[in-house]
Chain A
Amino acid sequence: MTDSTQTARDADELAARQETVRDFQRRWNRFARQWRKASQESQAAGEEMVRTALAQGLAPVTDRDPAPPPLDVQLNAACAVVAASGYFDAEEYAEEHRLRLGVEPVRHFVEQGWLDLRAPSLRFDLWSYWATHLDPTATQVNPLLHYLLVGRHAGLAPIPDQSPLRSPTRLEGTPKRVCLFAAYDRDGLIDDYVVDYLTELARHADVYYLADGVLEPGEREKIAGITKGAWSVPHAAYDFGSFSMLARDLVGWDVFDGYDEVILANDSCYLLRPLDEVFERMDARACDWWSLQLTSMEHGEAYDGDDDPIPLAEAKDRFLGPRKWNDVNYLHLSSYFLVYRRPVISDPGFRFRLDTVSGQRDKMLVVHKYEVGISRYLMDAGFDFDTFIPDLYAFHPLYSHQVFELIERGFPLIKRNFLGENSMHVLDVDAWPERLRAVAPDAPVEQIAANIARVSPGDRLHEAYGVHLDDAGRRIVPPRAVWGNALRKLDVESPGFGHWWAFLTNHATGRLDPGLRAVFEQVRHDPSIRKIVLTGPRPLDDDLAGEHVTVLPANTVDGQRLLVRSGRILVDAEPNLAVKLPLAPARHDFIHAGLGLPLLPHAVSAHPDGEWRKLKAMAVVSQADALVRAAADPDLDLRKMWDTGLPRHDFLLADRLPADLAAEESRLRERIGDRALVVWWVRDACHHTPEEIARIVAWAREHDVAVGIRESRVERVDGWLRAFTEDEHDHGIVSLNARTSPWTSLIHRVADAVVTDHAPEAFDALVLGTPLIRYAASRADSTDVAGGRVSAVFEGDGWPSVAHAGDTDALLAHLHAAADDGFAKRTVGDRPGVVPLDGQASWRFAQRLRELDLR
């Protein structure tokens, strides 16, 4: 959006760093080769080479690029150099980083340790050196090797010099502020609490918003009047990724020149009270940057030691300066709320560090490199900081028992993860609404509770809210779910009951899939069958009240106790978690509710990992279905096929639905209104050009059609929802994604046409006679394996025909034809050899399940 000179400067700097890295690689490659040759001759010669290299450095390679030697040679050479350097304290390294017995410390550091930013000794600051002299976005060169063999001979310092404290910045008049806000919501929503938080921030600053991920259509409108700019981009680089992208690409550094303070904030906290007091108090303080509180995991580390708060000045005195073994032990200001003043904003080192934030494989590295890394860069560079809470509390106080005390002292925020996960196992967090009201009477308790209920996995809440004192005054933490052998043992040491039926919810939707729900409905009010519903990472979103129904998170010991007693475990769609658990197939019958005729070629194949070996039975619609399944997967045979019809099809045809589903269906119909609904059910990534998308959108507008997007994974750069909603005010696009929207069978009931590359959905559309276009634009097999063979199974057998499209032109032709036809339903005729679609499939299926006990 903006091409600021700052960004260009940082790009030049980065290019220079990359050249440094390449130069070192050339020197290193040659050295490693020569070292191998020398040490093959004699050990002493190899050692001598290392000594020389350490003493004199490596000479530049000018003539030609030496090829890199094999990895193990490089690692051996690196071990030899690091071990002989005097910058590696093997014993302390092993102890501080808790290596397993038998792991060689030097080898660990050279292979993995430096990538995890594990300090080799207190005499070398790995990340500071890396970010100051090498390429912080890449992991090609071990910074310690560079320092030992090149850097120190060029006069570089192993640990940053402590700059003297600059004279702190005083604000004059009313400061102008700008705020960069980083958000993430797994449902693609902008929650009410975020809107309120942004509204409050907007009273004090110009706010720019960036959500990591793909927002649902229309969400950005909620904050349009509040923010100066709002974007969503899936980058998976956490909050610093968003800050970086905002500063570098979306807002631009030059915009910041007009402001006195830049605020970085994220949505990991709930706002409890207005921020006036915070800004008022901090405006009067002289400092270069500030936050609400200070963190050092070093304070209070010994659990039997003193963990009283320390005044800020004393904390700086005690903890600033010396290097630490572990980066979280550095004094730092956390990224949920950071404020920088002019000297910091215009500091090139700071800008470079924020500009070069890149995605990390581990969240811990994001914390170490950016949250702690930028903090300690500023501290080392002599920028003085201050905090709203004038003391350093032990550990991370926002996750500890001191939370409510801090709020009483005026702290304006509370961490979502404290209330939803309670990882420090603080007592009685389940009573947070009362405790919060006591210290912050105006806190939006209902809003917070609603958000926690929406985003927190059940097992986490179970643990978070289960920490209490027992009668003897000891803290009791609920036991965690067991795995592997412990689960196997639990399994064989528990009784099993054929009348306990386990239903596992779908991880993506937090609901029972249609097939399972249909079976559940059959036994919902039967007192003689115990129904066990086990939930995954999402809270249960169905109304499953009934006789003898138990709902528990699967990933808890209580949930597992019920699962191991369940004689029948029902499986729908893909093999789910239940099938992957090490439960003895002799004690549990895994029954699959069926997929249906494989319409699309790539869907019929043996299941990898042989996970379907455990299946005791699977529902099929016809002998043809049974034959295809049995032929395709060696783990399935004809004896395992139940010709009951598919339970999920009962919902496609039913006149009456269970109340919660009926309500959901009418909500969906309301959203669509009078328009026709074409469901875009494509699993593959979007390979379309914007023009092709525009043509489809134009077609939809021409025929007054709502295009409903449903995809398996929304949060990807090449997702369909993202492609279709580039033009954000187009109301012709409706999101039907699993994270917020209805359940597949309901979509089929409402759909007027289906475009898909996914076999079960194609089959369900066929069953209903909904116009179906099989679309495989991005697949190489779109023409060769296509239609011909598959529709041969159907043509003339009573099934309606399927339209096939391999590219946008063909697709649009089919769409136009369907629209001109008024999206008329196709006739589903008499199909020989097929179980009738009479709405009784789930009854027959349940009956077979009951009969298993009579064998």
Chain B
Amino acid sequence: MPDPKDNDEIARLTAELATARAELAALRKEQESWAEKEIKIRVDRDRAIKAAGEFATALAARLRIENAGLGKGAEILRKRFRPPSRTEAVHLELIRDSDLFDAPWYLRAYPDVVHLGMDPALHFLRHPFEPFRSPSEHFNIAQYCVDHPDVLKDKVNPLVHFLLSPESRGAESYPPRRR
């Protein structure tokens, strides 16, 4: 026969353990939410550091080339890319004037373009496919191609296709936001 006092003691300790565990659970829940936030910040920070490093390296290389060749470097650099044709020039203007093209965002998203040293708008105009590159956060190029398969068939730049169509009138994004 166990001592009733022991039973009381066990009951008290059990209750206390349950409370301690509940407290621990609450603390851990809090810890989880902080940890989720922290890792996001850390991932962003790591990306930012990496991007800054890449941009600085690209800028240094570019400045060196521009100032090389007795000051003619910039000219040499320009000749690396075929100048825009007349149609391309029109399309470039369309792209640059549109809020759906975000040049800084484009460079951040695709750092290889920085290394190329190419005008981001021209790069986007010439290479929208393979892989798909979006001109900004507000234009989902893959979705546009799904909805308008002829851009792939005719190899038209999807953003230009969109800007030339009545669908783009007043549009702030693609796919359009639901109101």
Contact = CB atoms under 8 A, between A and B. Distances in A.
Given A304-B149, A527-B22, A528-B21, A472 B28 contact: no
Contact of A493 (B22, B39, B143, B177): B39
A550 to B, nearest CB: 13
Interface of A is mostly: loop
Contact of B21 (A304, A471, A495, A526): A526
A474 B146 CA distance: 11
Interface in B121-179: 143, 149, 175-178
A114 interface: no
Interface string B14-47: 0000000110110010011001101100010000
Given A493-B39, A495-B39, A497-B35, A472 B24 contact: no
Contact of B25 (A472, A495, A527): A527
A528 B25 contact: yes
A472 B39 contact: no
Contact of B38 (A472, A495, A527): A495
Residue of B28, B39, B175, B177 most packed against chain A (CB within 10 A): B28
Nearest to B17: A526
Interface in A500-539: 526-528
A497 B39 contact: no
Interface string A477-499: 00000000000000001110101
A548 interface: yes
Contacts of A474: 143, 175
Contact of A495 (B24, B36, B175, B176): B36
Given A495-B36, A528-B28, A472 B21 contact: no
Contacts of B177: 472
Given A304-B149, A494-B39, A497-B32, A471 B25 contact: no
Contacts of A497: 28, 31-32, 35
A499 B28 contact: yes
Nearest to A500: B32
Nearest to A496: B35
Contacts of A493: 39, 43
Contacts of B143: 474
Contacts of B25: 527-528, 548
A472 B22 contact: no
A474 to B, nearest CB: 7
A499 B24 CA distance: 10
Interface in B80-120: none
A495 B22 CA distance: 22
A471 B178 contact: yes
A499 to B, nearest CB: 6
B178 A472 contact: yes
Residue of A471, A494, A527, A548 most packed against chain B (CB within 10 A): A527
A562 to B, nearest CB: 12
A474 B140 CA distance: 13
Contacts of B39: 493-495
Contacts of B35: 495, 497
Nearest to B38: A495
Contacts of A495: 32, 35-36, 38-39
B161 to A, nearest CB: 15
Contacts of A526: 21
A493 B47 CA distance: 11
A464 B125 CA distance: 38
Nearest to A471: B178
A527 B28 CA distance: 10
A11 to B, nearest CB: 53
Contacts of A303: 149
A527 B19 CA distance: 10
Nearest to B40: A493
A497 B24 CA distance: 13
Contacts of B176: 472
Nearest to B22: A527
A472 B173 CA distance: 13
Contacts of A472: 175-178
Contacts of B28: 497, 499, 528
Residue of A471, A493, A495, A499 most packed against chain B (CB within 10 A): A495
A548 B21 CA distance: 12
Contacts of A304: 149
A549 B175 CA distance: 38
A472 B147 CA distance: 13
Given A493-B39, A495-B35, A495-B39, A528 B24 contact: yes
A494 B42 CA distance: 10
Nearest to B46: A493
Contacts of B175: 472, 474
A847 B108 CA distance: 49
Interface in B38-74: 38-39, 43
B148 to A, nearest CB: 9
A303 B153 CA distance: 13
Interface string A288-321: 0000000000000001100000000000000000
Contacts of B21: 526-528
A838 B31 CA distance: 37
Contacts of B22: 527-528
A393 B22 CA distance: 59
A547 to B, nearest CB: 8
A529 to B, nearest CB: 8
A548 B176 CA distance: 40
A497 B31 CA distance: 9
Nearest to B35: A495
A471 B35 CA distance: 31
B19 to A, nearest CB: 11
A558 B38 CA distance: 20
A471 B179 CA distance: 10
A474 B31 CA distance: 37
B138 to A, nearest CB: 14
A494 B166 CA distance: 44
A565 B47 CA distance: 21
A499 B30 CA distance: 13
Interface string A197-238: 000000000000000000000000000000000000000000
A525 to B, nearest CB: 9
A472 to B, nearest CB: 5
Nearest to B20: A528
A474 B35 CA distance: 34
A527 B176 CA distance: 44
Nearest to A548: B25
Contacts of B36: 495
A528 B22 CA distance: 7
Contacts of B32: 495, 497
B130 to A, nearest CB: 11
A27 to B, nearest CB: 47
Interface string A114-138: 0000000000000000000000000
B112 to A, nearest CB: 18
A89 B2 CA distance: 91
Nearest to A497: B32
Contacts of A499: 28
A495 B24 CA distance: 18
A470 to B, nearest CB: 9
28 contacts: A303-B149, A471-B178, A472-B175, A472-B176, A472-B177, A472-B178, A474-B143, A474-B175, A493-B39, A493-B43, A494-B39, A495-B32, A495-B35, A495-B38, A495-B39, A497-B28, A497-B31, A497-B32, A497-B35, A526-B21, A527-B21, A527-B25, A528-B21, A528-B22, A528-B24, A528-B25, A528-B28, A548-B25
Interface of B: 21-22, 24-25, 28, 31-32, 35-36, 38-39, 43, 143, 149, 175-178
Top 9 nearest A-B pairs (CB, nearest first) are: A495-B35, A527-B25, A528-B24, A528-B25, A495-B39, A528-B21, A304-B149, A471-B178, A493-B43
Given A474-B143, A497-B31, A528-B28, 16 more contacts: A303-B149, A304-B149, A471-B178, A472-B177, A493-B39, A495-B35, A495-B36, A495-B38, A497-B28, A497-B32, A497-B35, A499-B28, A528-B22, A528-B24, A528-B25, A548-B25
